[in-house]
Structure 1
Amino acid sequence: MKINDVIKYLDKRFPIELASEFDYPRVGFNIGNVNNQLTKVMLSLDLTKEVVLEALKMGCNLIITHHSYLFDPLYKIDFSLNRGEIIGLLYENEVSVYSMHTNYDVGVGGVNDSLAKMLNIKNIKIINNEIKANNFLRYGNIKPISFKNLINEVKKTFNLTGVRAVGKLDDIVKTIGIVGGSGGHKEDLENALTSEIDCYITGEIPLNIAIDAQNANLKLIEVNHGVEKFAFDYLKIDLEIDLKLQEKVFITTINTDPLITI
């Protein structure tokens, strides 16, 4: 099997047409040689030197990331600096990198579908029932629970030391929605309100959005951006089954999200 066989599979499942406009030049095959024979695959939220070294140790020559390493243009490559050093390691060891970002967020079985499953949302819904670019929200019913207990369940599910929240802790929550990553934009809040959920879970919520949610009686739970990494648990299984890559797909043990709540 060649690296290109894995890429074709991912391109079909999470086509670039599902990516947000800003993502178009960034998603897809980033670095390497698609014609090389595949050895093993490493899955990682981000690409860091530690992730590359782990991939080399495990014998992987394809790294699949959620966040593109080449998100911002590179005008100079200095192998003595971090970003250049990583590129040098990839080149010297013929390791390829493939990234899928917002197309993976919205695609069937992607980030937000996976996170919704982890939260035990029943009959997961999508606005207008349409898989398309920028349609990130997944929402639906859960077993009725107090907001305080829901917060604790979210922390436990995503292995978080803490979260930020908006809402009365004793209120009962029956419907929730989630957007992995950065879902604190005005349009995200509008989608959450349109879906008529009791609680919206996402990352990177600014103060003005929190105030607007409070005024609209919408509860919020702010989680780390890095909870997106849990979607790889599902992708690993899919790759192993669909491409017969048993014992050849690994999820990095490196935590690439440096932010913690104390």
Structure 2
Amino acid sequence: MKVGEILEYINELAPWGYAESWDNVGLMLGSRQSQVNRILLSMDVTSKVIKEAVDCGAELIVSHHPFFFGKLNRLDFDTMKGRQVQTLVTRNISVISAHTNLDVAEGGVNDTLAETIGLVDPEPLKPYSPSGSKVDLGLGKVGTLKHETEFSSFLASVKAGLNIGSLRIIGAQPEKVQKVGVFCGSFDVELEYLKGLGLDAVITGDIKYHTAADAREMGICILDVGHFASEHVILEELRKKLSGRFEAVEAVCSKMESDPFIFA
């Protein structure tokens, strides 16, 4: 199997054109002609993940966050990024990143997050159409739990589903929860718009202090589960899809990476 074939399949799952205009997605490093027998999936391409790829014999890393983000003026092998690139090139390891295109795609990050917490028939939370496209994908998801649930029980199920020990609660806690919104990664929804949706709670992965303060003032209940936890759920789903499509290729999720934030 070649890198190019895997690149094309990921484009089928989450077209590169779905990405936000500021994003960087697709083949980050390597050749479309390189052979692949093993894929390592990760949230980020860190030095630990690169070492894991070397150790397990993976010829391709598929990451959620872009390996290259922002302007790259030089490659100095005495810097962290330079050493990472040097190792990847020396070991002939390619990198593909699927970021905001995977967030909004059908069966992507937001859909998987909604499914993980038990939302039924989720619909787009906020309208979004990629530049130059007539496709209405939507950012985030809104759905309902099968049954109205006590807030404490809902909180426990979210923690269990995302495998986290704690989260941040913003705003007044409702007694009951049924209508819920999810927005993976960095929170980016106008609060007035969100208020109008009449949600009992919103789950997101990253919210700024002043946005949180305003949300509390407006009576919006938001659960900040952490950026990592809100998106990490997609890796196993993507692994299953890659394994199903390319039976001759072994796809594995990274066991070495973890949330950069440690709660003491």
Normalising by structure 1, what TM-score? 0.91
How much does 1:3 deviate? 1.1
CA distance in 2, matches of 1:216, 1:148: 22
The code of the aligned residue for 1:258 comes to P
How much does 1:256 deviate? 4.1
Deviation readout 1:118-154 (Å, 9 max, x if unpaired): 00101111148x7744832111111212223322222
CA distance in 2, matches of 1:193, 1:245: 48
Aligned in 2, Cα 1:186/1:141: closer, same or farther, shift over 3 Å? closer
* Matching of residues 98-109 of structure 1 within 5 Å: 98-109=96-107
2:133 — aligned with what? none
CA distance in 2, matches of 1:170, 1:197: 10
* Corresponding residue SS for 1:126: strand
RMSD: 1.9
CA contact (8 A) 2:37 2:248 kept: no
1:94 aligns with 2:92: yes
The code of the aligned residue for 1:65 comes to S
1:63 aligns with 2:61: yes
CA contact (8 A) 2:171 2:215 kept: no
CA contact (8 A) 1:161 1:260 kept: no
Deviates more, 1:153-162 or 1:223-232: 153-162
**Runs of at least 5 residues in structure 1 that lack an aligned partner in the other structure:** none
Tell me the number of residue pairs that the alignment of Structure 1 and Structure 2 aligns. 256
2:252 — aligned with what? 250
How much does 1:168 deviate? 3.7
The code of the aligned residue for 1:242 comes to R
1:140 — aligned with what? 143
Given candidates 141, 145, 156, the residue that maps to 2:160 is: 156
Q: Which runs of 4+ in 1 moved over 6 A?
A: none
Aligned in 2, Cα 1:207/1:131: closer, same or farther, shift over 3 Å? closer
2:114 — aligned with what? 116
2:237 — aligned with what? 234
* Corresponding residue SS for 1:21: coil
Normalising by structure 2, what TM-score? 0.90
The code of the aligned residue for 1:72 comes to G
The code of the aligned residue for 2:117 comes to L
Deviates more, 1:212-221 or 1:14-23: 212-221
How much does 1:208 deviate? 2.7
CA distance in 2, matches of 1:256, 1:225: 11
The code of the aligned residue for 1:235 comes to L
1:21 — aligned with what? 21
* Corresponding residue SS for 2:177: strand
How much does 1:190 deviate? 4.3
CA distance in 2, matches of 1:95, 1:62: 5
CA distance in 2, matches of 1:211, 1:146: 24
How much does 1:186 deviate? 4.5
Deviation readout 1:26-72 (Å, 9 max, x if unpaired): 11111001101112111000001110111111111110111111102
Identity of aligned residues (%): 29
* Corresponding residue SS for 2:69: coil
